[in-house]
Chains A and B, each alone.
Chain A
């Protein structure tokens, strides 16, 4: 397991460390962004997908909304699908909150930097989050996601399919690698197994976003005295 994305316990890194930590994941994010641009252009036109990637800035939610719109499911269902997918940012926001400082508005603004990759990279062994890594790692993510969307919209048809390169396996492998360290504690391992089992058992029956956020219930294991 690489230690490059981890930092010393009590210091917060600066933005530059965060950018450096997040940089390797700009490439797969770019590739997924291109996929989004390619799929969104026929449904949403040229400008809307790029605006969406800037203001919504959440891959899984954008794919969820897009697939509803592409099936002519209507704005209401598209919004619901996207919001359900993003509901996981609610528990993630509570998880990072103790590590944020400053006035409420500043904390809320910092909270916008939470995406799956920055959340995974910024987590420390003690359960807190490195603010500099969290904010910094989001910058290459945003660059890759928005840039990839634009490339996909305007030039997607000439590029080969990123799935042929196995790009879509990078993210589960990455989250698994981060998760691997949790297995070091019995409690972390129990929560990870329970969380994964909840999502797996619900995925076929409820919207995917709901299956993901339901996994947060596994954290209640933390109430048991060890």
Chain B
């Protein structure tokens, strides 16, 4: 088996196992109060992590500051102005595109 197919096979099985663990361990019954207090906060923690990662990742394992930062800053302004979701994400994309065209 080539390295490519080996990667695809193991990664797909591993991903299924990762995604199955929580639903198998916790589903079907009410978790305890303290458990729920923690797992219900995984969402804000991981969403914040994704905002940081998607804004600053250099595509490998490092940090880079580029035009995406301007796009996300525009998103913050749009959110402060209570703009609708579509305006927030499209404004971010447009600001990033303009910044790139300007050579940022």
A74-B3, A108-B23, A192-B44 known; A116-B50 Cβ under 8 A: yes
Complex contact A119–B43 (CB within 8 A): yes
> Chain B contacts of A220 at CB under 8 A?
38
A and B contact pairs by CB, cutoff 8 A, 27 listed? A1-B82, A28-B89, A55-B12, A75-B10, A78-B3, A86-B14, A93-B18, A95-B42, A108-B23, A114-B19, A164-B97, A165-B93, A168-B54, A169-B75, A172-B75, A175-B54, A176-B51, A176-B75, A177-B89, A188-B41, A192-B47, A196-B49, A216-B42, A216-B49, A220-B38, A222-B38, A223-B38
Chain B residue numbers with a CB within 8 Å of A217 are 45
B9-50 contacts to A (CB < 8 Å): 10-12, 14-16, 18-28, 30-31, 34, 36-50
In the bound assembly, the distance between CA atoms of A186 and B15 in angstroms comes to 33
Known: A79-B6, A166-B98, A196-B51. 11 other contacts (CB 8 A): A69-B3, A75-B3, A75-B4, A75-B7, A97-B23, A123-B43, A127-B36, A172-B71, A174-B89, A176-B76, A199-B48
Whether A97 contacts B26 by the Cβ 8 Å rule is: yes
CB <8 Å contact, B72 and A173:
yes
Is A82 within 8 A of B89, CB to CB? no
Pick the contact of A79 from B11, B39, B53, B96 — CB < 8 Å?
A: B11
B7 in contact with A203 (CB, 8 Å):
no
Interface centre among B51, B84, B91 (most CB of A within 10 A): B51
Shortest 10 CB-CB contacts between residues of A and residues of B:
A93-B22, A127-B40, A169-B71, A166-B96, A195-B45, A173-B92, A97-B26, A215-B49, A166-B97, A2-B85
Residues of B within 8 A of A193 (CB): 48
B103 adjacent to chain A (CB < 8 Å) = no
Q: How many residue pairs at the A-B interface have CB separations less than 8 Å?
A: 323
Are the C-beta atoms of A104 and B24 separated by less than 8 Å? yes
Query: Which residue of B12, B22, B59 contacts A97 across the interface (Cβ within 8 Å)?
Result: B22
Bound complex: CA A163 to CA B26 (Å):
40
The answer to whether A218 touches B20 (Cβ under 8 A) is no
Assembled-state Cα–Cα distance A158/B101 (Å) = 20
Q: How many residues of B contact A (CB 8 A)?
A: 78
Complex-state Cα separation, A79 to B13, whole angstroms:
11
A91 to B47, CA, bound (A): 12
The smallest C-beta distance from A128 to any residue of chain B, in angstroms, reads 8
Residues of A close to B27: CB separation below 8 A? 97-98, 100-102, 104, 107
